[in-house]
């Protein structure tokens, strides 16, 4: 009697497992994410993204032949790393201002959503 290591023929069960390939899990149902609400305020960009917006304009004017976002992003990242804090302050201030506006809008959104939810419960709709 030969063993598997010695070159024995695979059994029927082994053949069917090989033919099927990997065992697959049943597909999970898609569930709606909490952040899918279109009325929800969008998070503001960071200071780097405000810098990227300005840098992209000037970089494309100076280098009209460069079309790749990858190259623009690399150049922007290098410039951001070499900038000192005083040069970045304007972007940090802008980001902080936009973050405060976002937090205010988010608080209003949550308040509206909670009041809408409570009115649904009081009317008997679940």
Domain limits, the chain: 46-126
pTM of the complete model beyond 0.75: no
Name the residue with tokens 């972007």.
91
The tens digit of pLDDT for each residue in 55-71 reads 999 999 999 998 899 99
48's enclosing H/E stretch is: helix 47-62
DSSP string, 13-33: HHHHHHHH-S--PPPPPP---
Q: Which uninterrupted H or E stretch holds 4?
A: none
CATH number of 46-126: 1.10.30.10
Helices and strands in the chain: count of H runs, count of E runs: 4, 0
How do residues 11-68 score in pLDDT, each as one tens digit? 766 665 555 666 667 776 666 655 578 889 999 999 999 999 999 999 999 999 988 9
DSSP letter, residue 7? T
């Amino acid at each position: 009697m030969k063993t598997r290591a010695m070159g024995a023929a695979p059994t029927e069960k082994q053949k069917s497992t090989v033919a099927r390939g990997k065992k697959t899990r049943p597909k999970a149902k898609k569930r709606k994410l909490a952040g899918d609400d279109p009325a929800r305020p969008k998070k503001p960009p960071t200071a780097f993204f405000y810098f990227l917006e300005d840098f992209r304009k000037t970089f494309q004017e100076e280098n009209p032949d460069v079309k790749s976002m990858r190259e623009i992003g690399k150049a922007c990242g290098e410039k951001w790393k070499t900038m000192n804090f005083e040069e970045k302050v304007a972007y940090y201030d802008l980001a902080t201002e936009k973050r405060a506006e976002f937090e205010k809008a988010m608080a209003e959104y949550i308040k509206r959503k909670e009041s809408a939810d409570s009115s649904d419960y009081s009317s008997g709709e679940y």
